């Protein structure tokens, strides 16, 4: 009785994985078609899982480096994902540049009129939002739906080897220095230096890491 229950579970487990892998292959093909139709330049070994969302201005620029992994499906991420990978650009000046070996999970990147850069080897955990704008004029309130406040848009950059933990929000004008960690659920409103842990809302530096770092490629592959 017990062994037949395990057999059924094994069949279900392997059967589900088999069809799920086919689903992932199909979604990857859909993503590649979307990338090509949107004129996105992407590098070697791009991995995508689950259907991504693109809303790109035809004259904007989106560049994705080599060995990048873009996850949109919660089954392929250890924690939860609330939404798929999303790339949005609004104008000719909008630019999104993702470096090599970057991993992102259900990240929403919105470049309205400035540049958003994510440098090599950075990990972005689930449900992170990165934006160069506030989307609306702030004050007076009656102007919020009339003016979009574009004059306050500012570029965002995330350095090499950073780790942005889950559910964080990176707001306009922020520059995060290389190797730094942004704790889960942070709201980053100001620049964060290199080699530190910053967290909270608004994010503040909590720890500075003194140990010397190596590049990821200097470690043997596990």
Question: Quick one: tokens of 28?
Answer: 């990857």
Sole residue written with tokens 């704008």:
133
Give the H/E segment covering residue 105: strand 103-105
Q: Which of 28, 57, 61, 137 is catalytic?
A: 137
x/- contact string, 160-199, with ligand COA (CB under 6 A)?
-----xx--------------x-xxxx----------x-x
Least Å from the CB of residue 122 to ligand COA: 11
**Nearest distance from residue 103's CB to ligand COA, in Å?**
8
Give CA separation, 7 vs 17, 78, 143, 156, 173, in Å: 15, 25, 64, 52, 55
Whether omega for the bond prior to residue 164 falls within 30 degrees of 0, making it cis, is: no
Residue 61 annotated to the active site: no
**53, 79, 138, 205: residue in contact with ligand COA (rule CB under 6 A):** 79
Interface of this chain with ligand COA, residues 109 to 148, rule: CB under 6 A: 123, 125
CA-based nearest residue to 125, from 156, 99, 104, 151: 104
- Known catalytic residues are 137
Binding site for ligand COA (CB under 6 A): 79, 123, 125, 165-166, 181, 183-186, 197, 199-200, 206
């Amino acid at each position: 009785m017990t062994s037949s229950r395990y057999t059924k579970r094994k069949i279900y487990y392997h059967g589900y994985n088999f069809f799920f892998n086919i689903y992932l292959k199909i979604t990857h093909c859909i993503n590649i078609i979307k990338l090509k139709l949107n004129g996105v330049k992407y590098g070697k070994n791009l991995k995508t899982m689950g259907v991504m969302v693109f809303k790109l201005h035809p004259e904007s620029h989106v560049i994705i480096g080599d060995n990048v992994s873009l996850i949109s499906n919660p089954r392929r991420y250890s924690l939860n994902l609330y939404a798929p990978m999303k790339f949005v650009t609004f104008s000719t000046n909008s630019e999104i540049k993702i470096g090599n070996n970057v991993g992102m999970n259900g990240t929403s990147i919105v470049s309205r009129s400035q540049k958003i850069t994510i440098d090599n080897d950075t990990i972005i955990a689930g449900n992170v939002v990165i934006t160069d704008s506030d989307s609306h004029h702030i004050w007076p309130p009656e102007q919020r739906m009339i003016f979009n406040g574009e004059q306050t848009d500012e570029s965002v950059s995330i350095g090499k080897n950073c780790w942005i933990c889950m559910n964080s929000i990176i707001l306009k004008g922020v520059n995060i220095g290389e190797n730094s960690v942004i704790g889960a659920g942070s709201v980053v409103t100001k620049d964060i230096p290199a080699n530190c842990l910053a967290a909270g809302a608004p994010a503040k530096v909590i720890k500075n890491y003194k140990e010397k770092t190596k590049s990821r490629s200097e470690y043997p592959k596990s």
